[in-house]
Each structure stands twice: as C-alpha cells, then as structure tokens.
Amino acid sequence: MVQVEIVACLALLVGTYGFVAPAGLRQAAPAVRANALRMSVSDEPWFADAVATTVVDKATLDSVFAKATSNDQDFLEASPYWDQSVVPVNTYKNKEPFVGKVVSVKRIVGPEATGETCHIIIDHQGKMPYWEGQSYGVIPPGTNPKNGKPNSVRLYSIASSRYGDDMTGTTTSLCVRRATYWCPELGADDPAKKGVCSNFLCDAKPGDEVKLTGPSGKVMLLPEAEDFKADIIMVATGTGIAPYRSMVRRLFVEKTPAAAAYKGQAWLFLGVANKDALLYDDEWQAVLASHPEQFRYDVALSREQTNAKGGKMYIQDKVEEYADEVFNKLDNGAHMYFCGLKGMMPGILTMLEGVAKSKGLVWEEFLGKLKKNGQWHVEVY
C-alpha cells in the first residue's frame, strides 16, 4: 500500500507544470526567499540525464506534496499582498553573484519554429526571492575575447511566478532563445559567432552551476491593489512572453491572494513567426478554458497570417484589429505592457498614434497621461 501511495503522489507531482524534484528533497531552504536558433527535427527536447533516481521516505514525499498542492499559495506574500515597498531588488550583484543550479532544460518550440527556444528551471534555494515582472541576470562562464575580462551579465525576464513552477518558492524559470548567426558564405550558422549566454543556458544540463544576479526591475510589476480590478493588456514578441507567464500563473493558475482579489481582465497578444513558434500555447489555452471571462489571447503569426492590408501579420497589426477596445480600456485605467525585441516598439507606437488621431486625440498628450498614471510599462531589449 505504501508503495502504491508513493507512486500515485509521484505521478501527480510529475504532471504539474514541468515538475522537478522538490526543494525539500534537494536541500532545505528558508521559505522566504537576451532571450534569444536552430535545432534539427530529430533532436530530443529533454536532456537524457534530466531524470535522476532518488529514494525518499514516504513522510518527506507526503509533506512536500501537501505543501505544493495546498489550498492557499501565500507563504511568499507581502503584508498586505500588494505592498510593493518590500519588492526585492539587487539581492545579488555582479561582483558577488548567487550560484544556482540548473534543474532542467526543455525545448518548447516545434520543428518548424524559426529558432530554438528553451524553458530553463534553476534552483535558487529560496535565497533569491523575486516578484512577477522582474528579471534575473546571468553571468556566463568564460572571458570576453575582445578584452580578456570575465563575460558580462545578461538580463532575462523571469517566466515563473515567485513560487516557481514547482510551487516551492525555491526555483525560477527562464525563457531563452538560442542566439545564432547565419553566414551567407558558409550557408550555415557560423560557429564562431553565437550568443555566449543563450547558448550556455540552452546547452546546460541538470546540476550545472549558473551565476545569478538580481532580481532587478520594477517597471513590469502587476498593478496589485486592495481593490484589484484594473484590466491588463500584455503585448509580447517571442521570448518577451516570459513576464506574462509569471503574471498569468499568479492571477489564474495559483491560489494566491492576488488571484482571489483580481476582478479585471488580462488580455495577451503574442507575435511569433508561425504556429510552431508559439510559446506556452497549451498553458494559455488552459487558462482560456478555466477563466473565459477574465482572460483573452490573440496571436500574430507573421509567416502564416495576413493583415487587413494584405501584408504580413505583425504584432501591431493584431493589436490594431482591436484598437477601439484597447483605447477604451486605457481610458478606463487599464495597464498596457510591452516586452520583446526593441524593434517591436516603432511599429506599435506608429499604429497607436494613427488610431489616436483618428479618434481626435493628441497622441503625445494621451501617452503622457498613461505614463503619469503608471499605466504604461515597457521592457524591450
């Protein structure tokens, strides 16, 4: 009977959002605590040694399972939960980074995606607490060949809620696109030119050490409040989806005080090249099914869809389709977020300015009001 119960618990745990070995089974810890291509179709998305055989006693397993699936996810909350004066910032700096360990690396795009993107879970032992919308810095090993100095830090938006994918509060997740550079002369990727940090992370194996800094940033934090009813409009290209995954999990997946209080609507716009490049699509679909009135999800597939003018469907074109609703929401206090490559912003700003003029609005004044009210959030790279 004991063996059956253990197997049942393990099966439930493994089925929960990329579950990894709970912190209680790795190391006891306090309860507090350039996102950038290529992989063959036949490559296995999971590293072969990502699963280890561990023997644990039933009492420990039951304790961890109970904590991870408790009715309330609140052990990392401020008091009150919306108090942003206690947001952790720069707990670890470049000169003294925290050394975390990779738990798992998983390819999360299909074979026809324009590049390789991985979901990477890192164990921080509960010593690097963060809030949704913040970033971690990663210092890749090695030196810069141009100056002989240690490689510099790269920032990555965090893709998990403060509780982590395993709900223990001891891990963080990053969404990283492998950066490679195509050489026309070689007719292939140039092995001498590749993103140092993104390749380090995408090639990492369980147990590998990662130097981390941060967390940093407050511009992308949720507008949590005692009366938490503001609509949220989230616009992303590619791995700019990361902070929105952390937000959506907090609001609709986990049983947090914020989820219990939230009365608004969250609207996600994601722009990628094709369906195989959609990131976390299964998670968005699940939230759509569980919260149809509070969550909306629209995609722009530039290589598979056309806009109203017959051209490629870019993220600004998809947002423009709902321009009236977007402006009405902003007028009523909605917060609008942008995350992704900085090249996304000119097209979006031009589109919004055109819509504003068609409505008889002075765009500069309208945008100035949004910024003054804290409704405008931009994090591009």
> How much is the pLDDT for 246?
98
Q: What is the pLDDT of residue 218?
A: 97
Percent of the chain with pLDDT over 90: 74
Per-residue pLDDT for 13 more than 70?
Answer: no
Whether residues 241 and 279 share a domain: the answer is yes
Q: pLDDT tens digits for 298-328?
A: 999 999 999 999 999 999 999 999 999 999 9
200 and 237 assigned to the same domain: no
Could you tell me the CATH number of the domain that includes residue 367? 3.40.50.80
Domain stop point among 186, 216, 246? 216
Of 184, 216, 248, the one marking the end of a domain is 216
Exposed/middle/buried for 260, CB within 10 Å: 0-12, 13-18, 19+? exposed
* 201 & 254 share domain: no
Q: Residues 6 or more apart from 55 whose CB is under 8 A from it?
A: none
pLDDT at position 36: 39
Residues 211 and 241 both lie in one domain = no
Residue 185's pLDDT is 73
| Residues of each annotated binding site for NADP(+) | 157, 177, 239, 302-303, 312, 340-341, 379
194 confidence band (pLDDT: 50, 70, 90): confident
Query: Nearest CA to 64 among 33, 104, 102, 19?
Result: 19
pLDDT over threshold 60, residue 206: yes
pLDDT (mean) for 79-91: 96
- Would 28 be classed as within a structural domain? no
Please tell me which residue, 202 or 71, carries the higher pLDDT value: 202
Is 99 in the same domain as 161?
yes
In the 8-state DSSP scheme, what is residue 151? P
6 located within any domain: no
pLDDT for position 180: 81
The answer to whether residue 78 is domain-embedded is: yes
Query: How far does CA 203 lie from the centroid of its chain?
Result: 19
Single out the catalytic residue among 104, 135, 157, 161.
Answer: 157
Domain boundary among 165, 192, 216: 216
Annotated binding site: 157, 177, 239, 302-303, 312, 340-341, 379
- First-last CA distance in the chain: 54
258 lies in the same domain as 212: no
Pairing of strands 135-139, 154-157: antiparallel
- How far is the C-alpha of 265 from the C-alpha of 246, rounded, in Å? 16
Asked whether residue 1 is domain-assigned, the answer is no
Q: Is position 156 annotated as part of the catalytic site?
A: yes
One domain, residues 82 and 212: yes
**Cα–Cα distance between 351 and 175 in angstroms, integer?**
28
Residue 65 lies in a domain: no
Q: What's 103's domain CATH number?
A: 2.40.30.10
**Structural domain count, the chain:** 2
Query: What residue has token string 């390789």?
Result: 116
> Residues 112, 85: one domain?
yes
CA dihedral 358, 359, 360, 364 (to 10 degrees): -90
- Please check the confidence at residue 54 and state whether its pLDDT lies above 70: no
Which residues share a beta bridge with 377?
337
Task: Mark whether 250 and 318 lie in a shared domain.
Answer: yes
Same domain, 250 and 191: no
381 is a catalytic site residue: yes
- Range from 16-30, 178-192, 349-363 carrying the lowest mean pLDDT: 16-30
Q: Which of 302, 311, 301, 371 is nearest to 335 (CA)?
A: 371
**Per-residue model confidence as pLDDT tens digits over 229-253:** 999 999 999 999 999 999 999 999 9
Would residue 339 show up in a list of annotated catalytic residues for this protein? yes
Across the chain, what does the average pLDDT equal? 85
319 in the same domain as 248: yes
Give the model's pLDDT for residue 67: 53
Instruction: Provide the domain limits for residue 345.
Output: 232-380
Q: Would 261 be classed as within a structural domain?
A: yes
Let me know whether 186 and 244 are in one domain.
Answer: no
Q: Is residue 197 part of a domain?
A: yes
Domain membership flag for residue 320: yes
Point out the catalytic residue in the list 156, 244, 280, 314: 156
DSSP string, 275-338: GGG-SSHHHHHHHHHH-TTTEEEEEEETTT-B-TTSSB--HHHHHHHTHHHHHHHHHTT-EEEE
